Amino acid sequence: MKKILLSALVLTIFGSCKNESETVKMTTIDYPETNKIDTVDTYFGESVADPYRWLEDDRSKETEAWVKNQNDVTFGYLEQIPYREELKKRLTKLWNYEKIGAPFVEGDYTYFSKNDGLQNQSVIYRYKTGGDPKTAEVFLDPNTFKEDGTISLGGMSFSKNGKTLAYAISEGGSDWRKVLVLNAETNEIIEDTLVDIKFSGMSWYKNEGFYYSSYDKPKGSELSAKTDQHKVYYHKLGTKQSEDKLVFGSTPEEKHRYIGGGVTEDDKYLVIVASVSTSGNKLFIKDLSQPNSKLVTILDHTNSDSHIIENVGSKLYIMTNLGAPNQKIITVDASNPTPENWVDFIPETENVLSPSTAGGYFFANYMVDAVSKVSQYDYNGKLIREVELPGIGTVAGFGAKKDETELYYSFANYVTPGSIYKYNIENGTSELYRKPSIDFNPEDYESKQVFYKSKDGTKVPMIITHKKGIKLNGKNPTILYGYGGFNISLTPSFSIANAVWMEQGGVYAVPNLRGGGEYGKAWHDAGTQLKKQNVFDDFIAAAEYLISEKYTSSDFLAVRGGSNGGLLVGATMTQRPDLMKVALPAVGVLDMLRYHTFTAGAGWAYDYGTAEDNKEMFEYLKGYSPVHNVREGVKYPATLVTTGDHDDRVVPAHSFKFAAELQSKQTGTNPTLIRIETDAGHGAGTPVSKTIEEYTDIFGFTLYNMGFEVLPTKTEEKVKG
């Protein structure tokens, strides 16, 4: 049993570092025993040991016992942090404000989501359209699904007349869904529950039924077994799920890992999008107005991301990055829809396009250095106006039905809590609809964008946010957060948790790393497969910038990221353990040789490649795989690995094996702990109570290991340990 000595009592206040002359009490962490079992894989003639393979069995008693023992040690450590409860109180207080979502119309009613403040799940309300919103009544309350809030609402879809609702639920954060069908007028469940649905929306055809996607139920563990053959079904109201019609995905030549089926707003076409990976898709349509019509191929390859976003009769409007890395919109007739017949509608620009439609117009949402800019076009491609936005930040929600005259969009940035605006589609005016009442003053903070150079000279943007007037003395506790993958863009957004971090004097920095989508397909591809090291180099360079500009130093820097961002943290801390004081990998992809053998992991190969591709790819993956690059005798930063026992996106075995490797090989006094949330998945639908507890522990662990004690807000007295 490995032991490590730790400082158990820190006598300094937040804002000053630990004095060497201070007397500290020492305590001992006894890490649980993690058995090593001889397991060896051979890749291209090279043997690779995997001693913790047994932790991949999420149903075994041995793994269950290991999880319990690790949590006992972790929470035993966290409970000794003297200001842990103060952090929780402040997070709880700031979290406790009313949060209301943008309204939307279905049938005779206007719906919106609302959370009173600390409800585990947001509640769906409604009122008669045209009536007083103050008369809104509860329509669907996910808090009633389970007392502790661990069953969440996973999606909603109304029939075309708004009288029937199909809604999905997630149990324990799992990606697997159950779908219930509700009479929206009487609030009564009208059918048996549909089960075993995954990575799927529900798209209605008229008022008769809906399309959805799922996999065959896997053999073995539903939380970790490989899912490889996605299929689209049609469920007709009043029939059993066993009678649902298989629409696409039934033959080996149609084998795809992700398939979606959606019906156009006018019910004319069924659109099928089929992918083998998270990037690139085939595209098909079926004319639903013609009985027994065949599926028509628009794209028979996966060399682009292409989606139908609108149609006027047989005229299709397609968003695509085929030959346009920053995306454009083209038009084509459904009678002859292949690329040689495409005509540019909104051409590609130097900025990445994300279009939507509302009220008979197109809204082109562009990213300009990760910040939103919106242009409005008519159906002839004529620019109507540049939409005046409330400020510099991120907007979302420029979408509505064709007959709508107004839409609602949200605006936020790192210091501005999300507010909702009502937009008049014809005259282009915005008015504030809902502004949250929160105990946070944006005027006390500043957020600025900088550009720094990565290792190979590439210019990378980063937004740094903190309280106004901080001293650039290298002693500010700083969280560097990153992702860098899967064409996902990190745009300015507001976080209650980060607000607490910053009000205590912390700096929050977010670089837009290669692998993301901030500058289109070229930026994404520059951080994939044999170029993945670019992402880690960009992140390391961001840390070095913060240190050189004296925002922080290695003694006060924490690196954080989740999922692909967890890989980012794992790779960075194993390559440059000297760079940071604290590492916070969350639900990370950490075993790069086996990630593709679990659930839908094989679909991530566009970004990563797999160890089975060829010798070069195997060696490249092994060269940065966090699980395989923990070295004996290295002093790694204080590390808190976080995951959920129901995570079937990135299975927790990644985190289990990484924590075991660190505990076995870590030298020095920095702790290596793993916090395993029960009845929790990859993050979506996590109850508010669990989220607050997790941030309490993340921030407490971070500050404690930097040698800080938290000052309470709005008082000069320090927290008594």
Please tell me what DSSP assigns to residue 580.
Answer: -
Angle at 686 between CA 682 and CA 689, to 5 degrees: 140
Q: How many CA atoms lie within 13 A of 216 on its CB side?
A: 10
Are 567 and 559 spatial neighbours (Cβ–Cβ below 8 Å)?
A: no
- Residue 463, amino acid: I
- Of the listed 375, 563, 625, 655, which one is catalytic? 563
Please tell me what DSSP assigns to residue 96.
Answer: -
Give catalytic status of residue 524 as yes or no: no
Using CA atoms, how far apart are residues 368 and 385, in angstroms rounded to an integer?
A: 17
Residue recorded with tokens 């069908």: 181
Pairing of strands 406-413, 416-424: antiparallel
Give catalytic status of residue 563 as yes or no: yes
- Of the listed 230, 235, 256, 682, which one is catalytic? 682
Give the sheet arrangement for strand 295-299, strand by strand.
Answer: 258-263, 269-275, 282-287, 295-299
- Our CA dihedral for 76, 78, 80, 81, rounded to 10 degrees, sits at 180
- Residue 99, amino acid: K
- Residue 583, amino acid: A
Name the nearest CA neighbour of 408 among 182, 103, 175, 669.
Answer: 103
Q: Which tokens in the block code for residue 215?
A: 């996999």
3-state secondary structure of 413: strand
Using CA atoms, how far apart are residues 474 and 497, in angstroms rounded to an integer?
A: 23
Are 608 and 622 spatial neighbours (Cβ–Cβ below 8 Å)?
A: no
Are 41 and 30 spatial neighbours (Cβ–Cβ below 8 Å)?
A: no
Element (H, E) at 186: none
φ, ψ dihedrals at 110, nearest 5°: -105, 130
For the chain, the C-alpha Rg in angstroms (whole number) is 26
Catalytic residue positions, numbered? 563, 682
